[in-house]
A and B are shown apart, each in its own frame.
Chain A
């Protein structure tokens, strides 16, 4: 099992960095190319959500992204330090929101409900768990690894072998 952990200041610009790192580690772990877009989007949504919460409630605290290759699965955890309440991860239909939203000042930022990011994640990721961590939440997303992942694990094993026999 190997882990890469990134801690970043709660700035929108760093969300892209988080996506790039997540995609690179996922690829290295053997996540299927077709699934990488899903990982990228889910990590982006989770990190955007965390950055938004931190900017409002805990601007000096960094957001944590942990990427774990567990051999048969690839696990992503995005941990914030400022979730007052558990988010609503139920499926979302924005059609009505979009049709009815007021043409007043709630035009953009506030036009979509705040749980849209997490609804996108739950629409994308089959295996999503939300756990309380201190003042915040950890969004844990897991993807199964196919043959490539097993091969990477096997490579890691054989790389260790010479040391074991020495």
Chain B
């Protein structure tokens, strides 16, 4: 399954819905989406990964890049993910300490630092 991307405003945050496979081939499209949102002044992002089937280290790199971008504007990047197979790769790489990971979009939207 290819990558699917969409985004919608929710209050002062923007929810980015990602589905399908994030790998070395599709990750540039996710990067482009995050770059465009930040360029458009959207600095508080919630990336909903519940429909992601596959994520590799290239995808992790793009998410870390997105985090750096929003932080440069005092923004935030939260992830929504309950899938064990996806969470595992965040744990292996120590990135669970970097990204706030939520169980639901509602939870991520309600969160404040």
Contact = CB atoms under 8 A, between A and B. Distances in A.
Interface of A: 12-13, 15-16, 19, 37, 40-41, 44-45, 48, 51-52, 91-95, 97-99, 101, 103, 107-109, 111-112, 116-117, 119-120, 123-124
Contact of B94 (A16, A52, A93, A109): A93
Contacts of A97: 64
Nearest to B21: A16
B61 A108 contact: yes
Interface string B60-73: 11101101110110
Q: How large is the interface on B (under 10, 10 to 19, 20 to 34, 35 or more residues)?
A: 20 to 34
8 contacts: A48-B24, A48-B56, A48-B57, A92-B93, A98-B68, A103-B72, A109-B61, A120-B92
Contacts of A93: 93-94
Contacts of A16: 21, 23, 25
B61 A44 contact: no
B68 A120 contact: no
Contact of B60 (A40, A51, A52, A94): A94
A111 B25 contact: no
A107 B69 contact: yes
Contacts of B39: none
Interface of B: 21, 23-25, 31, 54, 56-58, 60-62, 64-65, 67-69, 71-72, 85, 88-89, 92-95, 97-98
A116 B24 CA distance: 13
Contact of A99 (B21, B61, B98): B98
Contacts of A40: 54
B57 A116 contact: yes
A18 B67 CA distance: 30
Nearest to A40: B54
B24 A101 contact: no
